[in-house]
Amino acid sequence: MAAVRIPPTLRAEVGGLRELDARGETVGALIDDLVERYPPLAGQLYADGELASFVNVYLGGEDIRTLDGLDTPVDHGETVILLPAMAGGA
């Protein structure tokens, strides 16, 4: 079980919640668990079966793209953060 933080852009799809609990041994499994419960999320999070390029997923504050991607293992009690990719300040 891990807590998943939902960005404002996705809250409408999950009944307005800011954070949800999800089950899974990996980040991918956690997201699948969420998508099963809130099917409209699928179109936002995935593109061609992969994590969409405009979505960033962090585990323990680190982008899963620099970890093992959707296969990154998740320990009980960890926090996953979903964020839209944003232009950085510059």
CA 81 vs. chain centroid, Å, equals: 6
Residue with tokens 């041994």: 25
What six digits make up the tokens of 11? 């809250």
Q: Tell the smallest beta-carbon distance from residue 13 to another protein (Å).
A: 10
Q: Tell the smallest beta-carbon distance from residue 35 to another protein (Å).
A: 14
Q: Is 40 in the site for another protein (CB under 8 A)?
A: no
Q: Are 33 and 20 in contact (CB under 8 A)?
A: no
Task: Return the range that interacts with another protein (CB under 8 A); candidates 22-30, 31-39, 70-78, 80-88.
Answer: 80-88
Q: Pick out residues in 57-76 that bind another protein (CB under 8 A).
A: 58, 61-63, 65-66
